């Protein structure tokens, strides 16, 4: 056995898996080869230091008590996160339904095609009717898809509601009468309630400090 062959067996030896005749040959080479002796001694020493040397900090005296206290506490945080996710999902569903109500009851006609949400508001003067059921399905599907995209990306559902608000600002400022602009202010306070105000305009509480966007401040679709 030469040094190269011997080195290939180092791992098996250190793992305690070198046995039989191969072990004998390995030991015979090691006894007469200074280089392999030193290399193996170094690796064994490394193992000894890692195994035996224990310079670790002291664990806190109350560690066990803290663990048991945590174990006794209910999993409130996980439940709260789930509750937020459910509420967020329900809010999106409600927004989708309200948007549908707006489209069906306040417009005389629906666009010919509804393949893109933004194009719904650009198809002015081109009445079309894809059908109520198709429109309902499209709206719910589109919002749901978007929610799942954001969820998969790790984005909070609250962000989705903010994006919904921006859509509604564009909608409110491009298609609704001037008196509805003020209602859009409520969207910045509470997107879901603000959406209600846009969909069903009426008396609302005064919005907080946010002013409605000017025409120049509106993103183009």
Partner 1 sequence: MARDEELRLIARARRGHADAFRLLVDAYKERLFAFVWRMVRDHHEAEDIAQSAFVKAHEALDSYSEKWAFSTWLFTIAYRLCVNHLRRKKALTGDVDFDRVGGTDADVRETVANTEEARRLRALIWAAVDELSPPQKSAVLLFYREAKSCEEIGRILEMPTVTVKSHLHRARARLRAALSEELREGWTELEFFGESRYA
| Interface ranges with partner 1 (CB under 8 A) | 10-11, 14-16, 37-39, 41-60, 63-64, 66-68, 70-72, 75
Angle between helices 132-152 and 76-106 (to 10 degrees): 150
Name the residue nearer to partner 1 (CB basis): 49 or 215. Answer: 49
Name the residue nearer to partner 1 (CB basis): 31 or 75. Answer: 75
Q: How far is the CB of 22 from partner 1 (least distance, A)?
A: 17
Name the residue nearer to partner 1 (CB basis): 14 or 157. Answer: 14
Tokens 């799942």, residue located: 148
Residue 149 structure tokens: 């995209």
Count CB-CB contacts under 10 A for residue 50: 8
Dist CA 52 CA 34 (whole Å): 26
Dist CA 171 CA 176 (whole Å): 7
Q: How far is the CB of 39 from partner 1 (least distance, A)?
A: 7
Dist CA 195 CA 189 (whole Å): 11
Q: How far is the CB of 35 from partner 1 (least distance, A)?
A: 9
Q: How far is the CB of 159 from partner 1 (least distance, A)?
A: 21
Name the residue nearer to partner 1 (CB basis): 65 or 149. Answer: 65
Dist CA 200 CA 217 (whole Å): 24
């Amino acid at each position: 056995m030469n040094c190269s062959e011997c080195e290939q067996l180092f791992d098996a030896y250190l793992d305690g898996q070198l046995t039989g005749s191969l072990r004998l040959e390995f030991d015979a080479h090691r006894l007469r080869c200074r280089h392999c002796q030193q290399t193996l001694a170094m690796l064994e020493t490394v193992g000894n230091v890692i195994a035996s040397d224990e310079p670790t900090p002291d664990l806190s005296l109350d560690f066990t008590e803290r663990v048991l206290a945590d174990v006794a506490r209910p999993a409130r945080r996980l439940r709260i996160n789930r509750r937020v996710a459910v509420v967020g999902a329900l809010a999106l569903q409600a927004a989708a339904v309200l948007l549908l109500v707006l489209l069906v009851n306040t417009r005389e006609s629906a666009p010919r095609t509804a393949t893109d949400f933004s194009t719904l508001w650009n198809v002015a003067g081109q009445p079309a009717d894809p059908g109520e059921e198709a429109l309902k399905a499209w709206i719910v599907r589109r919002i749901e898809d978007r929610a799942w995209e954001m969820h998969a990306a790790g984005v909070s559902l609250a962000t989705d509601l903010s994006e919904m608000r921006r859509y509604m600002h564009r909608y409110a400022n491009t298609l609704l009468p001037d008196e509805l602009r003020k209602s859009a202010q409520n969207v910045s306070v509470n997107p879901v309630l603000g959406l209600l105000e846009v969909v069903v305009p009426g008396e609302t509480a005064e919005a907080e400090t946010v002013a409605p966007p000017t025409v120049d401040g509106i993103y183009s679709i």
